[in-house]
Amino acid sequence: VTAGEPIEDLLRVLAPRVLGTLAHRDPDFADCEDAVQEALLAAALQWPVEGRPDNPQAWLIAVAVRRLSDARRADSARRAREHRQATLKPTDALASGMDDPGRSPDDTLTLLFLCCHPALSPASQLALTLRAVGGLTTAEIARAFLVPDATMAQRISRAKQRVRATGISFRMPSPDEQTERVRVVLHVLYLIFTEGHTSTTGPVLHRDDLTREAIRLTRLVRGLLPNDGEVAGLLALMLLTDARRAARTGAGGALIPLPDQDRTLWDAEAIDEGVRLVTATLGARPLGPYQVQAAIAALHAEGDSTHDTDWPQILMLYRVLEELSPNPMTRLNHAVAAAMVHGPATGLALVDELAREGQLTSSHRINAVRGHLLEMSGDPEGARSAYLAAARQTTSIPEQRYLKVRASRLSQECSVEA
């Protein structure tokens, strides 16, 4: 934490520490979270005018504790009775926040486990993590998820009610539980990342923040769990994927597929860090799906073009990934890699197998891949109808536009040949 840091960034770093300190002592997580949000708001308003306090964390803890006890006092007698024994004394929290800075990282991890508790729905986990750990305001989260503030406020308050109702406590899960709980945390961080990453420029420009936030939080988790290979794998996957951001879309948010991307626009520094992370983690630890996906992303990033890409290696990694976490999307990507190594007929056979099993039938991706593979195999008519079928299925405007362009390019070819 440096003095020159913008106040907003500082507040986001401090938010989980302050909340951790409060939640550590007071059993009502929902009340603590409200109090911390109020303290953050007070800081955002006061610090730019009155200057930054000498110990920002202690200031926030003091204000949050005061808000918490004010809220309690204003509350009904019933609530006050319920909490009397557990209610925190302001001086305790203040002291702990200042005297014991070493405990903060553990509290942040405990906080993440609470926000990503399996009893909460994925939507609640995402929203709560962004607010409690990420220090984002409800309005910022609402904007990122493209819903009205009131909708997001309801979602967050619902999540907090659920924490209260199910008696989820602010404590570290037992060592046996931890492995599984870390998986949930990583999944939530991954979902936050994809929420931001799938957005294109234009009306949803500010969603880039979610990608940055996901990377920031994953770095934080990496600091807390430096020996977990999957944490490193997820961070690498995010860095390698995000490195291509600038090249993914052209004018007006139009989609640019991988082979057509201007590779000089890729973020070399992010690729470098991602590749280093992946290299360090592969083989050294038990392998998990994020590490394998990161390794695949690294191979894509290292090729000078799609033709230079090490497809046999990618195919091998998809086989490993299917073993580790069977999933229809993995199988579809496997089909693409198989086509690149063994030819389109092999890929098409795998795609047909997926379709026969009724997998991904409502997704446009099966037809999109089929279109590409048919085009590769020299069947422009078949490719064209597959692209058009995919265009009807997708709900993404940029993807629909892309698929229609692919289809119309083929119909021109067909008429020229005829």
Instruction: In angstroms, give the least distance from the CB of 212 to other proteins.
Output: 15
Strands (E), 208-314: none
Identity of the amino acid at 297: A
Interface map 279-318 toward other proteins (x if CB under 8 A): ----------x---x--xx--x-----x------------
Interface stretch with other proteins, choices 95-103, 130-138, 200-208, 270-278 (CB under 8 A) = 200-208
Site for other proteins in 206-235 (CB under 8 A): none
CA distance 333 to 365: 10
Interface stretch with other proteins, choices 29-37, 164-172, 275-283, 333-341 (CB under 8 A) = 333-341
| Chain centre distance of CA 247 | 20
Query: Exposed/middle/buried for 38, CB within 10 Å: 0-12, 13-18, 19+?
Result: middle
Task: Single out the residue of 21, 115, 330, 407 in contact with other proteins (rule: CB under 8 A).
Answer: 330
User: Tokens 């925190």 — which residue?
Assistant: 88
Task: Single out the residue of 22, 23, 63, 373 in contact with other proteins (rule: CB under 8 A).
Answer: 373
User: Tokens 């230079």 — which residue?
Assistant: 308
Task: Single out the residue of 21, 104, 138, 199 in contact with other proteins (rule: CB under 8 A).
Answer: 199
CA distance 190 to 160: 22
- Smaller CB distance to other proteins: residue 88 or 292? 292
Interface map 51-70 toward other proteins (x if CB under 8 A): --------------------
Strands (E), 25-100: none
CA distance 389 to 397: 14
Locate 184 and state its tokens. 């949930």
Residues near other proteins (CB under 8 A), total: 71
Task: Single out the residue of 69, 178, 194, 385 in contact with other proteins (rule: CB under 8 A).
Answer: 194
Task: Single out the residue of 17, 398, 407, 410 in contact with other proteins (rule: CB under 8 A).
Answer: 398
Interface map 148-167 toward other proteins (x if CB under 8 A): x-xxx-xxx-x---------
Site for other proteins in 86-105 (CB under 8 A): none
CA distance 293 to 236: 9
Instruction: In angstroms, give the least distance from the CB of 365 to other proteins.
Output: 7
Locate 344 and state its tokens. 């389109």
CA distance 173 to 178: 6
CA dihedral 222, 224, 228, 233 (to 10 degrees): -10
Instruction: In angstroms, give the least distance from the CB of 97 to other proteins.
Output: 32
Task: Single out the residue of 329, 381, 408, 412 in contact with other proteins (rule: CB under 8 A).
Answer: 329
Locate 272 and state its tokens. 């470098």
Task: Single out the residue of 75, 260, 310, 323 in contact with other proteins (rule: CB under 8 A).
Answer: 260
CA distances from 21 to 106, 109, 170, 348 (A): 10, 12, 11, 56
- Smaller CB distance to other proteins: residue 29 or 318? 318
Q: Does 325 bind other proteins (CB under 8 A)?
A: yes
Q: Which residues contact 209 (CB under 8 A, 6 or more apart)?
A: 140, 144, 196
Q: Which residues contact 356 (CB under 8 A, 6 or more apart)?
A: none
Q: What is the CA radius of gyration of the chain?
A: 25
Instruction: In angstroms, give the least distance from the CB of 162 to other proteins.
Output: 11
- Smaller CB distance to other proteins: residue 94 or 237? 237
CA distance 393 to 366: 10
Task: Single out the residue of 128, 163, 271, 360 in contact with other proteins (rule: CB under 8 A).
Answer: 360
Site for other proteins in 118-147 (CB under 8 A): 121-123, 127, 145-147
- Smaller CB distance to other proteins: residue 279 or 359? 359
Instruction: In angstroms, give the least distance from the CB of 202 to other proteins.
Output: 6
Identity of the amino acid at 242: D
- Smaller CB distance to other proteins: residue 62 or 152? 152
